[in-house]
């Protein structure tokens, strides 16, 4: 999530972030994306992955539109600079930890892989609409950022699927290794986010924080609805509630250099990491149902 703060620091020197911390963030997030994607891909059967139904595509795009428009509605009354991060959170699902959390919660990994890919595409379509509704300019650099981030995020999943087919004897052991590495890196991200960004929570009014919690609840509701359609509740919920804050931070930087808006994204990231990690831990303890 914090990997792209480097760009923002160059443009706005008021943010108290050291270059060495930015480099460490970039390395951890990159490793987390690889470990998370590889773990999901190594557990996904390519034959099942190819079974993509039209209703799933429609449902994912519908969920993205719902959360994007819902985020705009939830942020109504706030300044335009703060409404932008709300919209970006609502439009960009399937963050770098989504594959890891799907696996950790014992969700259907093929559904998780499909959902991650579809959410990345839907974000590419819905985000320009959200920017237009809020009167922000959608530039070629924003489109390139969304496309490149999506491609880089799906690459580890694709590599994992291919390795499962070609080196199936080693897939199970490799999956466990990548899952362990991903869990360790996720723990580091959660702790680091709490230590470095926890104080930012106090900078926002209670009503803004309640709106962030409301937005998280909306993403969970959208994920539940998607899960009822795909009959894979756990995979759908975690693909939906794990927002793509890495991409959101970079788009925020390209569109508006507002420090408070960037802090808002970081605060939501802290809330999201804590809540989704707790949800995955609880889901892992619950019995697995047919629709999960």
Position with higher pLDDT, 32 vs 209? 209
Q: What is the pLDDT of residue 49?
A: 63
Q: How high is the pLDDT of residue 122? A: 95
pLDDT tens for 128-166 read 999 999 999 888 888 888 998 888 888 998 898 888 888
Residue 8 has pLDDT above 70, yes or no: no
Query: Which segment of 57-66, 85-94, 156-165 scores lowest on mean pLDDT?
Result: 156-165
DSSP β-bridge partners for residue 243: 93
Q: What is the mean pLDDT of the chain?
A: 85
Q: Would 177 be classed as within a structural domain?
A: yes
- Is residue 290 one of the residues assigned to a domain? no
Residue 93: phi and psi, rounded to 5, are -100, -175
Q: Which backbone phi and psi does 78 adopt, to 5 degrees?
A: -85, 170
Average pLDDT over residues 243-247: 88
Q: Which of 1-15, 36-50, 103-117 has the lowest mean pLDDT?
A: 1-15
Q: At what angle do helices 206-230 and 80-91 cross, to 10 degrees?
A: 20
Which pair of tokens denotes residue 128?
């320009």
Highest mean pLDDT among 56-70, 196-210, 249-263: 56-70
pLDDT confidence of 245, banded at 50, 70, 90?
Answer: confident
Q: Which range, 7-21, 54-68, 91-105, is most confident?
A: 54-68
291 part of a folded domain:
no
232 Rama class: left (phi>0) / alpha (psi -120 to 50) / beta = beta
pLDDT of residue 96: 81
**pLDDT (0 to 100) of residue 21:** 61
By percentage, how much of the chain surpasses pLDDT 90?
38
Domain assignment of residue 208, yes or no = yes
Beta carbons within 8 Å of 232's beta carbon, 6+ residues apart: 107, 108, 111, 112, 291, 292
Range of the domain at 28: 2-283
DSSP calls for 12-31: -TTS---HHHHHHHHHHHHH
Is 288 inside a domain boundary? Answer: no
Residue 19 in domain: yes
Q: Kindly report the CATH number assigned to the domain that includes residue 92.
A: 1.20.1530.20
* Phi then psi dihedrals of residue 243, to 5 deg: -85, 155
Residue 292 located in a structural domain: no
How many structural domains are present in the chain?
1
Q: Which of 21, 66, 78 is nearest to 261 (CA)?
A: 78
pTM (two decimals): 0.83
**Is residue 126 predicted with pLDDT exceeding 80?**
yes
Please check whether residue 234 lies inside any domain of the structure: yes
Tokens found for residue 172? 């199970």
**pLDDT, tens only, 196-233:** 777 888 888 999 999 999 999 999 999 999 999 988 99
- Identify the CA nearest to 116 among candidates 240, 206, 202, 219: 240
């Amino acid at each position: 999530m914090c990997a792209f703060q480097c760009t923002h620091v160059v443009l706005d020197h008021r943010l108290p972030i050291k270059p060495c911390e930015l480099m460490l963030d970039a390395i951890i997030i990159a490793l987390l994306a690889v470990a998370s994607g590889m773990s999901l891909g190594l557990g996904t059967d390519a034959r099942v992955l190819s079974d993509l139904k039209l209703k799933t595509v429609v449902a994912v795009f519908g969920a993205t539109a719902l959360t994007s428009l819902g985020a705009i509605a939830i942020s109504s009354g706030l300044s335009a600079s703060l409404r932008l991060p709300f919209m970006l959170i609502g439009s960009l699902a399937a963050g770098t930890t989504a594959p890891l959390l799907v696996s950790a919660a014992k969700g259907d990994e093929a559904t998780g892989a499909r959902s991650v890919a579809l959410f990345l595409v839907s974000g590419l379509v819905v985000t320009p609409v959200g920017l237009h509704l809020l009167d922000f300019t959608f530039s070629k650099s924003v489109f390139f950022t969304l496309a490149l981030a999506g491609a880089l995020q799906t690459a580890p999943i694709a590599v994992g699927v291919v390795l499962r087919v070609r080196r199936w004897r080693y897939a199970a052991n490799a999956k466990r290794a990548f899952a362990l590495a991903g869990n360790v890196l996720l723990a580091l991200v959660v702790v680091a986010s709490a230590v470095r960004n926890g104080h930012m929570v106090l900078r926002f009014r209670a009503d803004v924080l309640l709106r962030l919690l409301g937005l998280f609840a909306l993403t969970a509701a959208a994920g539940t609805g998607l899960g009822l359609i795909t009959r894979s509740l756990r995979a759908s919920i975690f693909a939906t509630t794990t927002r793509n804050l890495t991409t959101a931070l970079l788009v925020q930087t390209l569109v508006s250099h507002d420090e408070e808006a960037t802090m808002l994204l970081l605060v939501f990231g802290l809330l999201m990491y804590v809540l989704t990690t707790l949800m995955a831990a609880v889901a892992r303890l619950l019995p697995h149902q047919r629709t999960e």
